[in-house]
Amino acid sequence: MTLPFLKMNGLGNDFVVVAADEAPFDPSPAEARAIADRTRGLGCDQLIAVTRSDRADAGMRIWNADGGEVDACGNATRCVGWLLMEASGRDTASIATGAGVLLASRAGQRMVTIDMGEPGLEWRDIPLAWEMDTREILLDVNERLRAPGCVAMGNPHVVFFVPDVDQAPVNEIGPRVEHHWLFPERTNVGFAQVVGPAHIRLKVWERGVGQTRACGTGACAALVAAHRRGLCGRAAVVELDGGELTIEWRESDGHVLMTGPVAVEFAGHLPDRRPAA
């Protein structure tokens, strides 16, 4: 039995979204890598399975391009939320993820807001190898990249603040920091330029994927990290290579809201075969 999928993206951060509510779908790391492979597979940053859930409108599982399963992906959650709202005709949808139940709501034509919940700000939340202040951790890559902030948005993020994001060595430093011993579960690595109190430019090296055109949880982490250091307000437009997200760290309850577009590229069925390990 083959499973239907949609190829979708949020600001160019692209996904193969599999409908797994009627049939089991539990790919091995090798199978997930084969689907994500841009040369021989369908090609994507993340593989997403939409499943049944007894605690939300649907469940969502996430595999990075390297085949590892993770708990959170903000842009993919917007895509799944939009699909659920289109199917139900309602303006809200709940999605059970490894990071908890997240609420999606309509914010315009193919625009979705996700309530990402409260950010994790303690060192154990990231997690880090030992206790330190996550506003500015003790990590100096070089004289220009030092003392980044750390935020957990259902997945770990480290955020370096840079004067010009276009000059940031994302592909050089990203993998080094992702695998640094300070991060026992590895980490996503953001390079943020605070342009003004409500404008951040951002590039992200994603754990298990590499540099992507956009990262929703990375945008949330950048806003939170910047505000904690007095660099911006509680709301900002975060400009990524693929477009813009609006992020708000709500003062009333501490929740982070992420708003942005979704796009559908094409539909198909997964091939009924298993790749070599």
Q: How far apart are CA 161 and CA 2, in angstroms?
A: 45
Q: Which of 79, 150, 215, 220 is catalytic?
A: 215
Cα–Cα nearest to 187, from 251, 234, 231, 128:
128
Copy the structure tokens of residue 203: 């590039």
CB 42 within 8 A of CB 269: no
Q: Is the peptide bond before 127 cis (omega within 30 degrees of 0)?
A: yes
- Establish whether 215 is a catalytic residue: yes
Phi, psi angles (nearest 5°) of residue 204: -135, 130
- Establish whether 232 is a catalytic residue: no
Cα–Cα nearest to 241, from 209, 201, 205:
201
CB 83 within 8 A of CB 6: yes
Strands (E), the chain: 4-10, 13-19, 46-51, 58-64, 69-70, 92-97, 100-108, 111-115, 149-152, 156-161, 188-196, 199-206, 210-212, 235-240, 243-249, 256-261, 263-269
Q: Which of 73, 79, 150, 232 is catalytic?
A: 73
Give catalytic residues, as residue numbers: 73, 215
